[in-house]
A and B are shown apart, each in its own frame.
Chain A
Amino acid sequence: MKFLPLAHALASRQDLPVPAWLFAWGASIVLVVSFFALAAGWRSPRFERLHERPLGAVVSRVLLGLPAQVLCGAIGVFLLGLAVYAGLEGTEAPDRNFALTFLFVTCWLGFPFFSAIFGDLFRPFNPWRAIGRVAGTGFRAIAGQRAAHAPYPERLGRWPAAIGLLAVVWLEVVYGKGGVGFDPHTVAVATLLYSTYTLAMMAVFGTEEWCERGEVFSVYFGMFGRLGIFGTRDGRLERRRPFSAATTWATIPGSAAVVIASISSTSFDGGQEGAFKDGIENLTDWIEGLGFSLTTSLRLSGTVFMLLVFAGVGLIYLLGVRGMRTVPGAPSFAKLRVGFAHTLIPIALAYLVAHYFSFFVFQEQAQFTFLLSDPLGTGTTDLFGTAASGVDYTVLTANTIWYVQVGALLAGHVIGLMLAHDRALVYWPDYRNATASQYWMLAVMVAFTCFGLYLLSVANG
């Protein structure tokens, strides 16, 4: 059975009717046409209000009530515990152990994909939030008062989440490059360390405060949830206009860094075996020549490239913002930088779908068959009678994967353009200036689209 748990993009050659680079040209033309269509027909902001419609009181009571909260939290804690247990006690073969696929595929990719449609799905299942809330309730019951938390430093904002996000991806794709050091046991230990750190931060700053700003997974999955159609307000479930909740997401400092970290880490992962491969190899050789071991050299060169990609993606965005500043009536650079950060969220999602969609489809077959039946991978259990199942790689053809990749990138960038145009109408009441400011965001979107397609084409070729 061919099973590559850590290969994120299947390197299979497509049989396309035209060269792959022509898709970049076509996508760019679509973006330019979309830009002018928005300029011509969209002259007042539409996403600044959520246009929310509360769902029925019964639905809200059932889905948001205490029993549902307890059940979802318990499921989250149980699955986290299972993943850690499988990592510590199960097989060291990463493809047969429940821990890696569950944490790095089902959760890491599944929550963004589905939250972008339905709203933040992680929040009710967040195991650390569940533990923090239970601890808070226990403290109140014993002490007879609420726990006194330290005020969260405003300037710190979401920077802990941005750095944490890079650290999680670093652990997976740099530290664990080539499978060295990245085994279920290491992941289980890392999960325990992260859990300790998270619970400590929750104790210091408060559970909800830390989840909103510092907890990597809450911030990361919640960011995609802002694109979705469901949300909560005052304890009621409501339906809202898609993408509209994203407009208020980036007001906390460091939010732009989170979304840039998302795009850059996906780009780095997509390019390390393709577009950046020669550069990484040359740097590795150079570092090795300084007397470091091969593993250390690989990790150092990967770290350098990962940071370079982060800086590069950030620079492209900041250049777009700098360009907007030249348009008459522009707000300050800082206001523009924060005000347009949310327009990158659909791009971050598009990059995720484009790079990992096929991987997700293949790995979830493993997740819901043999990994569920035999979580430890020891070959001694078969809980659901599916332990002998395999992964069907013919379920997606190379061409299907390519068209999904191109479609995702294009849709993500058109939505990004739409959100940017909408925000420009808020900052420049004269729609002509608003349109002029968006020439620069058009350049940013075209750059990210072509860059994304280039990474994919090299990885696939």
Chain B
Amino acid sequence: MLPLAHAGHYALWVFYALPVFVVVGAIARSAILTRRAERDGKTPES
């Protein structure tokens, strides 16, 4: 079996995972901003 022969095929998962990374990243960023704003005593940005 030649694993590298399938590398391109299986690397495809990155394209499927990208939307998940984007959504999770956006949520994490929003959570960090909210926490920072609460710590500074400001109303978080909406």
Q: Mask for A17-35, Cβ within 8 A of B = 1, else 0? A: 0010100110011001000
Stretch at the interface among A119-127, A364-372, A453-461: A453-461
What is the interface of chain A mostly: helix, strand, loop, or mixed? Answer: helix
Once bound together, how far apart are the Cα atoms of A160 and B23, in whole Å?
36
Chain B residue numbers with a CB within 8 Å of A447 are: 20
Once bound together, how far apart are the Cα atoms of A25 and B27, in whole Å?
17
Chain B residue numbers with a CB within 8 Å of A281 are: 1
Once bound together, how far apart are the Cα atoms of A25 and B16, in whole Å?
7
A439 interface residue per 8 A CB criterion: yes
Verify B19–A326 contact, CB threshold 8 A.
Answer: no
Chain B residue numbers with a CB within 8 Å of A450 are: 16-17, 19-20
Q: A278-B6, A439-B30 are contacts. A32–B15 as well, Cβ < 8 Å?
A: no
Q: Mask for B11-46, Cβ within 8 A of A = 1, else 0? A: 011011111101110010011000000000000000
Verify B3–A21 contact, CB threshold 8 A.
Answer: no
Q: Mask for A322-344, Cβ within 8 A of B = 1, else 0? A: 01001000000000000000000
Cβ of A237 to closest chain B Cβ, rounded Å: 42
Cβ of B22 to closest chain A Cβ, rounded Å: 8
Chain A residue numbers with a CB within 8 Å of B16 are: 21, 24, 450-451, 453-454, 457
Once bound together, how far apart are the Cα atoms of A450 and B20, in whole Å?
8
Cβ of A14 to closest chain B Cβ, rounded Å: 15
Q: A24-B19, A450-B20 are contacts. A278–B27 as well, Cβ < 8 Å?
A: no
Beyond contacts A450-B20, A458-B9: 13 other A-B pairs, Cβ-Cβ < 8 A, are A21-B12, A24-B16, A275-B13, A281-B1, A442-B23, A446-B23, A450-B16, A450-B19, A451-B16, A454-B17, A457-B12, A458-B12, A461-B9
Task: List the 7 closest pairs (A to B, CB-CB), nearest first.
Answer: A28-B19, A21-B15, A454-B16, A439-B27, A450-B16, A24-B16, A447-B20
